[in-house]
Structure 1
């Protein structure tokens, strides 16, 4: 019987770190609900909804006339208190001379002393009132506390708002957090300072994390592990983890779904193959290995994650072995393999084994 033609490739061996994959969501590092400290009518809205704003930028202007009047009155009260203090100081100075000459009694001099102290306290109180009025006036200009992307205006010009009313929201845009839940085995890998995964302060080290969003091939985005929660949730057997993901092009936003690959061990030689080399039956996954005598052997394999477009083989294959990628073949058949590069085999023609 003639040997069956098949397309085969030698397995690829690379240095690949042990890793685990999880699902997560993106969240802004800073998220602010913008609320005014004072109330009043909205004079103007000074931002483009959905646009970028900078920290300190005025977003809402409230009617300031009432607060300007309060500030003017506070300043007038301060001037009045300062004049009274001046008068009390002069009366005290005269009283010092008179009590020394025994022209007035000690009781009268004690009254002058108390009046001077009271006048000084009134000045300080008036100064505090001025500062409070200045703060209230400044707060009629509602500013962005952080830089980021602003949401829609929840109130518009002419509306009366009270102190604490929600005006809009702001989320930072660079970088982003990626929150995901890890299993107990992964959590234990990073538990304790003796594992080398945590620093002397107890925080997790900045382990590399790969992130993929909807539509991404592989895991093209690089992040760093930033936080691991202090407990495992008994009901789910998971712990919350967080990575920091840069957003240089500004395309990311909070709430996006993400796939996360977390390195859980050191890099070691690892066998990788194309997914199209893998077959499936009732017993699980397998590959067809080309023996030195050009016959086929069915080999059960345990697969892992993908790495650079290839599938990690955790067990079942060794470096240098050749597997069938395409062709009509079955275990024990004699074959005439056409060898191609594993990474380029996706362009070969034929059927899967």
Structure 2
């Protein structure tokens, strides 16, 4: 064996010896280690507030928000054209104008001339009819005279003709003259009869013309009256777009007036909540229209910025929004109640955005819980989750579990539960974030009065 081979073998033996020695040392150390002492750590309890479930009947209050508006808002537009010659001194935005006063006046001169002309035509036709009727009466009397004259002329003609033909008394000229007299009398009677027969037609035509002229005179009078535009009710001016000297055309809106004698608020409510809790009249809907029944006109409380409270009444259902599944109900407030709040001194006016509280039906057998004690998520069956403290059958201590509950309705601070809980259940009020199931609880119990 060469010197190099001996060196390699020697190095391998030394390495193996070192490795075996290290392993032996490690095994000896492990066997000589003493076990760590066991420490018994007690289970820590979660401190929570709880409330015992107690069912009761609760009157439901439905709340919503809405903007105050005037019930009647009217756009004023002139009905005749012309130039503005006068404007009411208070015709400006926010101005108050009593009913019956003239808002503005259009130049009446052209309309006055047409009215006078129409009246003159009426008078002329009335005189014509009177003259025709009088002449008709006179000519009817003349018919008798003309008939007598014709008879006399006929008798004279017959007499002269007979004397001439039988007795040879007289001349042919006398016979011709008497015949001419008879024919003249006969023609005069025929002409007068024809004239009398035409009088009723002429009178009817004149009366028709009179009716047309009277209609034109009435229209002229109406147009003359339309040159003065008056306020139909005690009004507040919302918009104005005219001034003295301006030319206006029919149908062009120039003023918007609001009637603040009755105010309204349209409040949007979830359709499910509204149909469940709003009070409807028990009598059937008298209308044959396919629409909601009549609401019970219950008193409604209206508040604005926590500075004033007014009373109104539930009026009607205004619209149904099929996209948002909401119902708009209308609250009506007469001016005396708008001017005299239940609390505060501010008057209720158009444009205020108010909170409305509507008394609804009675919720039967529900339990009131603070909103923070009920989970936000809703399962496919419509249930939410609450934490409940229950006595453990193993150690008799209160431990954490969950229950599924169905919501009856909600208010600003509370949720009312109708299903899922039993009388006496201890519902956890403390907000817990991802607690361990069956956690030990250290509870402080409150009653419902203390949680309000």
Does the residue aligned with 1:90 lie in a helix, a strand or coil? helix
Q: Aligned partners of 2:384, 2:275: CA distance in 1, in Å? A: 29
- What's 1:107 paired with? 194
Alpha carbons 1:211, 1:222 under 8 Å: kept:
yes
Structure 1 residues 335 and 187: alpha-carbon distance in aligned structure 2, compared to 1, 3 A threshold? closer
- What's 1:176 paired with? 264
- What's 1:349 paired with? none
- What's 2:206 paired with? 119
Is residue 226 from structure 1 mapped to residue 316 from structure 2 by the alignment?
Answer: yes
| 267-276 or 219-228: bigger deviation | 219-228
- What's 2:441 paired with? 334
Is residue 151 from structure 1 mapped to residue 258 from structure 2 by the alignment?
Answer: no
Q: How do residues 160-171 of structure 1 correspond to structure 2 at under 5 angstroms? A: 160-171=247-258
| 114-123 or 157-166: bigger deviation | 114-123
Is residue 269 from structure 1 mapped to residue 365 from structure 2 by the alignment?
Answer: yes
- What's 1:199 paired with? 285
Q: CA RMSD in A?
A: 4.7
Alpha carbons 1:146, 1:170 under 8 Å: kept:
no
CA offset digits 1:128-157 (Å, max 9, x no partner): 222111211111122334555431211222
Alpha carbons 1:223, 1:245 under 8 Å: kept:
yes
Q: Aligned partners of 2:270, 2:431: CA distance in 1, in Å? A: 40
Q: Aligned partners of 2:98, 2:119: CA distance in 1, in Å? A: 33
- What's 1:350 paired with? none
Q: Aligned partners of 1:53, 1:319: CA distance in 2, in Å? A: 63
- Based on CA coordinates, which of the two structures has the bigger radius of gyration? 2
- Deviation at 1:7? 4.5
Does the residue aligned with 2:239 lie in a helix, a strand or coil? coil
Gaps of 5+ in 2: 1-41, 147-188, 339-346
Does the residue aligned with 2:80 lie in a helix, a strand or coil? coil
Does the residue aligned with 1:101 lie in a helix, a strand or coil? helix
Structure 1 residues 252 and 277: alpha-carbon distance in aligned structure 2, compared to 1, 3 A threshold? farther
- Deviation at 1:162? 0.6
- What's 1:345 paired with? 451
Provide the aligned length of Structure 1 versus Structure 2.
336
Q: Aligned partners of 2:448, 2:358: CA distance in 1, in Å? A: 26
Q: Aligned partners of 2:306, 2:397: CA distance in 1, in Å? A: 39
- Deviation at 1:228? 6.8
Alpha carbons 1:42, 1:160 under 8 Å: kept:
yes
Does the residue aligned with 1:151 lie in a helix, a strand or coil? strand
Does the residue aligned with 1:37 lie in a helix, a strand or coil? coil
Q: Aligned partners of 1:224, 1:256: CA distance in 2, in Å? A: 17
Q: Aligned partners of 2:193, 2:276: CA distance in 1, in Å? A: 81
Alpha carbons 1:271, 1:318 under 8 Å: kept:
no
Structure 1 residues 254 and 140: alpha-carbon distance in aligned structure 2, compared to 1, 3 A threshold? farther
Does the residue aligned with 2:130 lie in a helix, a strand or coil? helix
Is residue 69 from structure 1 mapped to residue 173 from structure 2 by the alignment?
Answer: no
Q: Aligned partners of 1:41, 1:289: CA distance in 2, in Å? A: 80
Alpha carbons 1:3, 1:334 under 8 Å: kept:
yes
Is residue 129 from structure 1 mapped to residue 129 from structure 2 by the alignment?
Answer: no
Does the residue aligned with 2:295 lie in a helix, a strand or coil? coil
Q: Aligned partners of 1:168, 1:30: CA distance in 2, in Å? A: 14
CA offset digits 1:95-148 (Å, max 9, x no partner): 221224335522111233333223323332232222111211111122334555
From the two aligned structures, give the one with the greater strand fraction.
1
- Deviation at 1:26? 6.4
| 165-174 or 290-299: bigger deviation | 290-299
- What's 2:78 paired with? 36
Alpha carbons 1:26, 1:257 under 8 Å: kept:
yes
Does the residue aligned with 1:50 lie in a helix, a strand or coil? coil
- Which of residues 78, 88, 110 is equivalent to 2:122? 78
Alpha carbons 1:271, 1:319 under 8 Å: kept:
no
Structure 1 residues 112 and 281: alpha-carbon distance in aligned structure 2, compared to 1, 3 A threshold? closer
| 123-132 or 10-19: bigger deviation | 10-19
- Deviation at 1:303? 3.9
Alpha carbons 2:64, 2:267 under 8 Å: kept:
no
- What's 1:251 paired with? 348
